[in-house]
Amino acid sequence: MTATPLLRVEGATIQYETDESVIVAVWRASFEVRRGERLMILGRSGCGKSTLLKAIGGYLLPVDGAITLEGKPVRRPGPDRMIVWQDHDQLLPWKTVRQNVLYPMQLCGIARAEAQARADQFIEKVGLTRAADQYPHQLSGGMKMRVAVARGLAMKPAVLLMDEPFAALDALTRETMQHELLRLQEETGSTIVFVTHDVAEAAVLGSRIIVMSPFPGQIKANLDVTRFASREELIRVVDGVVHDDDDDKKDIVVEEMGAA
């Protein structure tokens, strides 16, 4: 990893509108991600972690603060930030495994020979060469997730964003996918920002863990995994941080719609 941050989130506040008000989902979040890191964004449901990931992806803009990638402001989605979603329906059902992996590269104008070589390379890396001509309905949940990961990595993004991608998988498949992701990241040197609500998953996958508290989402801890003597110690500390929220805190209402 280099000393210069690849990604910076600086005082980012992100909000959304309801019928009656504007609610702050993330409040003044600040952190950095270095090349080759596996940053876990951890927190309970509703703490704004997926909202923060979408802002990094360029799907939402902060109302205050800034998000920069390689020194440039993030203002819209781009191929330098591929997102792997939790939903298996992210694959196009009328396209084969190979065609699904090829599709983003075709949209971005990558030369056909280069795109095909990358698709075959990453399909092999996720162990799906024999299934390359199958369609999503012929695949298990774990296989579909492998396709989504291969598609993201084949684009060679600056950062791969993952929004609870293994949450819907059964326990054994989920564990397998976690180890597969670690292997792929080691082979490719990819930078990963990964959202989860599972403390054990964050401890297994992360090189650094950010813990968010809800109402509104705020960063309450930024933990370097290497500073802990064991995974058990890390899990114990992180679990304590996650469950130390003030349950009396409420959403911050920025604007009451229609108020005088």
Structure tokens at 77: 């989605």
Statement: residue 10 has pLDDT above 90: yes
**pLDDT tens digits, 156-167:** 999 999 999 998
**Is it true that the peptide bond before 77 is cis, omega within 30 degrees of 0?**
no
Which of helix, strand or coil describes residue 128? coil
Average pLDDT value for the chain: 90
Mean pLDDT of 5-27: 91
Label residue 252 by pLDDT band (50, 70, 90). Answer: very low
Identity of residue 58: G
Beta strands 208-213 and 218-224 are: antiparallel
Domain spans of the chain?
5-80+159-256, 89-156
**pLDDT tens digits, 29-50:** 999 999 999 999 999 988 999 9
Q: What pLDDT is attached to residue 226?
A: 92
Label residue 21 by pLDDT band (50, 70, 90). Answer: confident
Q: Tell me which architecture the domain covering 5-80+159-256 has in CATH.
A: 3-Layer(aba) Sandwich (3.40)
Question: Which residue in 140, 131, 142 sits closest to 99, CA to CA?
Answer: 131
Which of helix, strand or coil describes residue 92? coil
- Give residue for tokens 């702050």: 24
Statement: residue 246 has pLDDT above 60: no
**pLDDT tens digits, 71-126:** 999 999 999 999 998 875 689 999 999 999 999 999 999 999 999 999 999 999 99
**pLDDT tens digits, 196-245:** 999 999 999 999 999 999 888 999 999 999 999 999 999 999 999 988 85
Other beta carbons less than 10 A from residue 23's beta carbon: 17
Residues 6+ apart with CB under 8 A from 31: 8, 9, 39, 210, 219, 222
Largest CA distance in the chain: 64
Q: What pLDDT is attached to residue 259?
A: 35
Q: Are 55 and 67 in contact (CB under 8 A)?
A: yes
Mean pLDDT of 144-171: 94
Overall pTM > 0.85: yes
